[in-house]
A and B are shown apart, each in its own frame.
Chain A
Amino acid sequence: MDILLATLLGGLLALDATSVGQFMVSRPLVAGAVVGWALGDPATGITVGAVLELYLLVSFPTGGSRFPEGATATVVAVATAAGSEAAGALPLAVAVGLVWGQVGGFSITALRLLNNRLVPEPGDRFPGPRRVAALHLAAILLDFARGAAVTLVGAWIGRAVLTAAGSTWPLSRTGSLGLMLVGAAVSVGILLRDLGGFRRRRVLFTGGLALGILGARLL
């Protein structure tokens, strides 16, 4: 039942990333909270979503480029870890999510290639307004089906991985989170570079760092 719910959510959230609205409900921070709540484990959803959001800080649905799909990656990762007490739940779920983000990216490319054949083009025999609208909406429906299918397979694989390796995971919970944050720190560094680099932004970055440390100690 949980996997079916995750599949439905995967299809819906995948739509938000490119086809419908781009309200960023599909970002891992939000998608993780939504899916965690839906699956009855909001704390896991928020943790997994926050970690994946850190990884995907520098990944955006830009033009025709191939990008890791955050929505299905997050749904798969949360569906993998939700309800599990195993120490390995977080790292295994995030790892499956990172792999599945790439799978989602490839599936988007495949769908866009399919759309090449589906959508009307100028010079075609006049398709008519109704046909233009119907084909456009059909492409959106296909994107939903793609997101749902990618999520279904990913969640099933994620659950299998967690069942096999979750209970024998050798690191503690804090060590596991540490490992995940080491990988995520690379994205934070890339983002600061995108914003102008350390040399140019050193005053603002260092000021923020001090505020962050102070805030974390006081709050």
Chain B
Amino acid sequence: MTSEISRGVLVSTFLRSFLIQGSWNYHTMLGAGFAFAMLPGLRRLFGNDGSAMRASLDRHLEHFNAHPYMSTLALGAALRLEAEGSDADTVRRFKSAVRGPLGGLGDTLVWATWLPSMSVAGLALLWLGVPGWLAAVAFLVAYNLGHLWLRVWAFRAGLREGRDVGRRLGRTDLMGWATRLRGITALLVGLLAGAVLAGRGGLSDAGPLWGALATAAFVGGLLAGHHAWRPAAVAVVGVVALLAAWGLAA
């Protein structure tokens, strides 16, 4: 890594990555957020050269999208490319090449695996009798350990590897971790279902009818997948509205 980028600039860029989705839009998606995060580095590298600054800022305002946590990888690598004096096409091609994989990998690893696993674990703790505030804190701490580790790892990998960061991604086998974690999450889903069925304040208190209906609803969700979510939510709201109207009329 070039010595032109100081530790302060790296820290500032990394901290700005937490705001990368702040101006999410349908034209450039993370484009403005990416440029915002790159600003400390660009100021350092091109502060006295107006035309170079303009050209560099312009290319980082271009369309970019990725999972927000994994975007630090692209930020680190782009910072390195700029510091090495790479030409505009190289920077553009790199960002264009990584945005799809970083989005897909982050969505699979974080949104579809890590978040639900920690969420289910927190809920299971709650239904097993752990105080609610403690379950919430446990969720928050455990989730963010993974979240912050991923952001830091990705940023450092991007800085270290530059345009070759794809090879590093391949060696790390993040998808393999996701696959193993999904098995553990299935166990946690069972744990949660058991705790809600048998725990205090759960379905056993509500009575067997509610337990049977909940089991049927669970099977419905299992069979229909995401298509079932909205109709189920609409049905719950509809039943609540009908019961409320019935109570008012009685």
Contacts and interface: CB of A to CB of B under 8 A. Distances in A.
Interface of A: 18-25, 27, 29-30, 32-34, 37, 42-43, 46-47, 49-50, 53-55, 57-64, 68, 88, 91-92, 94-95, 98-99, 112-113, 115-116, 118-124, 126-127, 129, 132-133, 135-137, 139-140, 143, 161, 164-165, 168-171, 174-175, 177-183, 185-198, 201, 204-217, 219
B202 interface: yes
A19 B21 CA distance: 5
Given A18-B21, A126-B54, A165 B247 contact: yes
B187 interface: yes
B132 A42 contact: yes
Nearest to A95: B240
B155 interface: no
A46 B189 contact: no
B213 interface: yes
Given A50-B126, A119-B27, 10 more contacts: A23-B144, A50-B127, A54-B123, A120-B32, A165-B244, A178-B207, A182-B210, A201-B186, A208-B187, A212-B197
A118 B190 CA distance: 46
A187 B61 CA distance: 38
Contacts of B218: 185-186, 188-189
Given A50-B126, A213-B197, A171 B187 contact: no
Interface class of chain B by DSSP: helix
Interface stretch (B76-84, B113-121, B166-174): B113-121
A217 B224 CA distance: 31
Contact of B189 (A18, A55, A59, A192): A192
A185 B194 CA distance: 12
A30 B139 contact: yes
Chain A contact surface mostly: helix
Given A29-B135, A119-B32, A140 B250 contact: no
Contacts of B189: 188, 191-192, 195, 205, 208
Contacts of B23: 115, 118-119, 135-136, 139-140
Contacts of B226: 58, 190
Interface in B198-233: 198-203, 205-207, 209-211, 213-215, 217-226, 228-229, 232-233
Contact of B186 (A91, A113, A133, A196): A196
A32 B140 CA distance: 13
A62 B21 CA distance: 12
Contacts of A187: 221, 229, 232
